[in-house]
Amino acid sequence: MDKLPEDATEPRWTTGSPTLHQITVDIAAPMEGKPGRLWYACFTVSVALLLVLLATATYLIARGIGIWGLNNSVGWAFDITNFVFWIGIGHAGTLISAILLLFRQRWRNSINRSAEAMTIFAVMCAGLFPLLHMGRPWNFFFILPYFPNQHGPLWVNFRSPLVWDVFAISTYFTISLVFWYLGLIPDLATMRDRAVGKIKKLVFGILSMGWNGSHRTWSRYEIVSMILAGLATPLVLSVHSIVSMDFATSVVPGWHTTIFPPYFVAGAIYSGFGMVMTLLILTRQSMNLQRYITKRHLDSMARVLLLTGSIVGFAYATEFFSAWYGHDLYERYHFINRATGPYRWAFYLMVLCNVLTPQLYWFKKVRNSVAILFITSIMVNIGMWFERFVIIVVSLHRAFLPSGWGMFYPTIFDIAILVGVFGLFFTLFLLFIRFAPMIAAWEVKGVAVDQAHTAGHGAEGGHRG
Amino acid sequence: MAKILVATFPDTDHLLGAVRKARREMFRVYDVFTPFPVHGLDEALGVRRTRLPWVTLFCALTGLTTAIVLQGYTNVLDWPLNVGGKPDNSTLAFIPICFELSVLFGGLGSVAALLLRARLYPGKTAWLVNPGITDDVFAMVVRRPSDDETHQRALALLEECGAASVTESEAEL
């Protein structure tokens, strides 16, 4: 990494100063050349896992959810854990694309596109779980209010957070998809104008909607991007708040707490940044994009992980404190059971990954080492999966009367679906980095030009985002 | 069909200078084409601020109304159902969906309005004034003056502003 002068006002987010044409060439390279061995290796594994998912899901739908390890005490387990996990993953993408846009954090420019793609794929994975958990997914439309109402006069219950979830997640998916696609249009036009093959020209021609770089369009386009960012920011906060209310509005000890919404949102951003880190390290190594996804980007992401990880750790402590301070018998027992009961290993794994691991990011050496970042980012993912497992399964397995207690043991099908859905996610992501411009070339160009200005004119600072 | 002059520039500084100068000298700048949004062009071109945010507001309010009507009709008027003794009109419980539908309608409406206003639609053939626009070329399009003297003056001005090339062409403006 190049050494930066101490007084540099504008940090450099691309290594060296590539020309505009060079940026186009570099970013288009993964789509025009053949991907390296690493890509093929990852893709093979992902497709294999995807097949596992397809086979298990088919069997699940044919036999019913009895093939899972659910029982009377623990009626929600891996499925809802996976659902919350994947929704959480999605949040970092929106944070990077929308919130950092509003705060004018220029470092988002070379990572926002792939982070947004990650959001969309993660929400697709998440959406799968409520559908599978229904047992009869072909009746999924029962959860929507529709006209004419064919179930007698009965409507969906709008007081239920589960119904809010349906609206929140479908809105989130739609808005994320539209935001992502809107951002892609100028780059699709670049690909159209570079395309040599007839098919490529045709496909990119249709997708780019006749974009011609007119400034009048750019001007409106930027305003609409800001509007979408402004809408997506409260939206993303609402989505995980509503997911947390699925739990918080119930009376189960361990779920019935008011800190759930902010706690879930912080956890979501934490886990999502963990996933962004994993994906971007894989991407920059497999597609040779070290120049645009710099160590500086990884460093910034590690700082976000440190912040959100600390918030998550603080929330864990708060939960224990209020259980002790609140003097509710069941709530108290739940937290004693969380730390000393049969699932204590899951609790300590979660503390190790979510409370202790991010504290490593205080050290610059750690933030600078791609290998350590990669390993710790995977630990973040594991930790956050277990956090949801602890919240869901540990709360349910010993709630209230001991006669209603039980244990949850996953079956092979629980595990197959958990693993298989990673196949779906990575297959989609790998196809995306192979066939679409995964770095927002036009945004990087804007930053590169401003960067050159600052370098040329010293600290005049006349150019802003 | 109108006759136009297309001047290309190697960077944003020359482009901005040329746009300002051309407008000062009373040439009619039709539009500017760039690979990324260049800041300062709005003022240089004298582009009015877009009214698209009003469309967003209108669509968001439509979404809000839809949510209120939908929830009120189904859960209060059509078939009030007693769930845990909560009141039929549990206004607070209706807020999340009011918010979600406002965002959904507002977001989709703004994008639709942008595409309509900028006349972008799938499959449209792009009118490119220069093949490099989406890569690294900045171009300014000026109406070709009808009399020769002004035309010569325009060419001189563009050259003076550092145009890399000036070509004449025809376009539907």
At residue A456, does pLDDT exceed 60?
A: no
Q: Taking a C-beta distance cutoff of 8 angstroms, is the pair A269, A92 a contact?
A: yes
B124 band by pLDDT with thresholds 50, 70 and 90: confident
pTM of the full predicted structure? 0.90
Kindly list the residues from chain A whose CB atom is less than 8 angstroms away from the CB atom of residue B115: 209
Cα A429 to Cα A121, A135, A185, A275, A436: the distances in Å are 7, 28, 19, 12, 10
B 54-93: CB under 8 A from A: 56, 70-71, 74-75, 78-79, 81, 83, 86, 90, 93
% of chain B at pLDDT higher than 70: 99
A143 band by pLDDT with thresholds 50, 70 and 90: confident
Q: Which of A308, A334, A329, A325 is nearest to A390 (CA)?
A: A334
B 88-117: CB under 8 A from A: 90, 93-94, 96-97, 99-101, 103-104, 106-108, 110-111, 113-115, 117
Contact A235 B70 (CB under 8 A): no
Partner-chain residue, chosen from B41, B108, B124, that has the shortest CB–CB distance to A178: B108
B 140-169: CB under 8 A from A: none
Q: Identify which has the larger pLDDT, A21 or A387.
A: A387
A151 band by pLDDT with thresholds 50, 70 and 90: low
Q: Which of A403, A142, A119 is nearest to A268 (CA)?
A: A119
Q: Chain A: give the shortest CA distance to residue B30, in Å.
A: 10
Q: Chain A: give the shortest CA distance to residue B155, in Å.
A: 22
Contact A219 B42 (CB under 8 A): yes
pLDDT, tens digit, 9 for 90 and up, residues A153-174:
678 888 889 999 999 999 999 9
A 151-180: CB under 8 A from B: 153-161, 163-164, 167-168, 171, 174-175, 178-179
pLDDT, tens digit, 9 for 90 and up, residues B3-37:
888 888 888 888 888 888 888 877 788 888 888 88
At residue A458, does pLDDT exceed 50?
A: no
Question: Token pair of A142, please?
Answer: 């029962």
Return the sign of the alpha-carbon dihedral for residues A280, A281, A282, A285. positive
- Pseudo-torsion of CA B126, B128, B132, B138, nearest 10°? -120
Cα A356 to Cα A33, A315, A450: the distances in Å are 42, 14, 39
* Spatial distance between the Cα atoms of A133 and A130, rounded to a whole number of angstroms: 5
pLDDT, tens digit, 9 for 90 and up, residues A255-299:
998 899 999 999 998 999 899 899 888 888 877 778 788 888 888
Spell out the residues 6+ positions from residue A203 whose beta carbon is closer than 8 angstroms to its own.
none
Query: What pLDDT is recorded for position A31?
Result: 80
At residue A77, does pLDDT exceed 80?
A: yes
* Model ipTM value: 0.91
A10 band by pLDDT with thresholds 50, 70 and 90: very low
A465 band by pLDDT with thresholds 50, 70 and 90: very low
Q: Which of B127, B128, B152, B166 is nearest to B18 (CA)?
A: B166
Contact B47 A215 (CB under 8 A): yes
Question: Token pair of A321, please?
Answer: 């404190």
Q: Chain A: give the shortest CA distance to residue B124, in Å.
A: 5
A382 band by pLDDT with thresholds 50, 70 and 90: very high
pLDDT, tens digit, 9 for 90 and up, residues A179-220:
999 999 999 998 888 888 888 888 888 998 989 888 888 989
Contact A159 B78 (CB under 8 A): no
A320 band by pLDDT with thresholds 50, 70 and 90: very high
pLDDT, tens digit, 9 for 90 and up, residues B88-103:
888 889 999 999 999 9
According to the 3-state scheme, what is the secondary structure of A326-366? HCCHHHHHHHHHHHHCCCHHHHHHHHHHHHHHHHHHHCHHH
